[in-house]
Amino acid sequence: MNALTFLTAVAMLLATVPALMILNNLRLFRVPIAQTGRRRTPVSVIIPARNEAANIVPAVQSVLASRGLQVEIVVVDDQSTDETADLVRRMSEGDGRVRLVSAPSLPPGWCGKQHACQVGADHAVYDRLAFLDADVRLTPDCLAALSDGLDGSQAKLVSGFPRERTGSIGEHLLIPLIHFMLLGFLPISRMRRSAHPAYAAGCGQLFLADREAYRTTGGHAAISDSLMDGITLPRAFRRRGFLTDVVDATPLAECRMYHGTRATWRGLAKNAIEGIGEPRRILPMTVVLFGGQILPLGLLFVTLHQPILWAMSLSALLMSWAVRGVMAWRFRQSRISVFLHPLAVFVLLTIQWVSLVGWLFGAKREWRGRSYKDLPQRPADLSSNRT
């Protein structure tokens, strides 16, 4: 077997495995349905808000429209310098279900969002805790459906993946990869049977948790130094032996994560070293993603005069496009991202490597106007993350 034949076979394999995983996971990654006539545990909805004047009113209004269960809303003003607090205060005067809590100054070693979520949880009164980003909009049945989904599983924490709205080319290109990475590399059936931390997954935009389990894990204090709660909060639950779950919330909630290509790059870079860009993970993930999603396109040109190898390369590329097309239809994603999938994966990997290099050289992680100088900055500091 020559080198070209070997590369083509590897590319075919690396494209086939995630494609089959996605097709299998699409059956399991279901939308929870709110059952009629059920009596549900009330939910405390905690919204961390730092300079969210443009988002906070519609976010709170969408929660207030919830039906099928009792809710309270705890908005934690995280040292905002805009009108966020005033807007929430006015809403609380008109509806007693809304409360404004001011987060104290950020303690050393804490990420702002994790601190605000912990403060909100400490002020919550109900036995179920929902953590909601201010840019998420819920449908009236969302919380009831998530609550029924949690009741129907053995999990103590469930995360819903909303419909992700996109605007700029960078958003169209990169945001749909969230679902590709989740469904292509997480064995959901195994995740639901095992509490091993390796199967931790979630979307930090929308969580619903059992309060007692949350307290047992240490809550957000257990991930105080994390900027990526989508993975680290489920991991904290799993380290204490609790199962966690993920569900499709496409018809139940929507969100626009970032506005513009630059913001998208910065947002994904912020999460890199706790995700794909983690030093022990980046090389194997680069091999898998480059080999299965980018290499087949290059091999099409190299194998033009070798029909069997060319057909294998084309098959690998078409598999990627096909599953991306199915996901774009299922999750209401941009069609542009389907055709530009190899480029999207290349840009994603570039973000991970650039972020890792910066981290290795001590670059400060920044988000929402804060520079996190006292969070882990070197590979040796990874153990300081208590999740």
42-91 pLDDT per residue, tens:
999 999 999 999 999 999 999 999 999 999 999 999 999 999 999 999 99
**What pLDDT is recorded for position 361?**
83
Question: Is the pLDDT reported for residue 370 higher than 80?
Answer: no
- pLDDT-derived band at 372 (thresholds 50, 70, 90) equals low
- pLDDT-derived band at 188 (thresholds 50, 70, 90) equals very high
- Asked whether the beta carbons of 159 and 42 are under 8 A apart, the reply is no
**What pLDDT is recorded for position 381?**
42
Question: In order of start, what are the domains of the chain with their CATH numbers?
Answer: 3-25+275-382 (no CATH), 28-260 (3.90.550.10)
- pLDDT-derived band at 37 (thresholds 50, 70, 90) equals confident
- pLDDT-derived band at 377 (thresholds 50, 70, 90) equals very low
Separation in Å, CA 117 to CA 101, 282, 286, 310:
11, 29, 33, 52
- pLDDT-derived band at 379 (thresholds 50, 70, 90) equals very low
Most confident of the ranges 122-131, 300-309, 365-374:
122-131
Question: Is the pLDDT reported for residue 230 higher than 50?
Answer: yes
Long-range contacts of residues 315-320, Cβ cutoff 8 Å, at least 24 apart: 315/12, 316/11, 316/12, 316/14, 316/15, 316/16, 316/292, 317/15, 317/342, 319/15, 319/16, 319/19, 320/15, 320/19, 320/292, 320/293, 320/296
Question: Is the pLDDT reported for residue 382 higher than 50?
Answer: no
Residue 84, Cβ density class (10 Å: 0-12 exposed, 13-18 middle, ≥19 buried): buried
pLDDT by residue (tens digit) across 88-142? Answer: 999 999 999 999 999 999 998 899 999 999 999 999 999 999 999 999 999 999 9
- pLDDT-derived band at 371 (thresholds 50, 70, 90) equals low
Question: Is the pLDDT reported for residue 173 higher than 60?
Answer: yes
- pLDDT-derived band at 368 (thresholds 50, 70, 90) equals confident
| Whole-structure pTM value | 0.93
Average pLDDT, the chain: 93
**What pLDDT is recorded for position 380?**
39
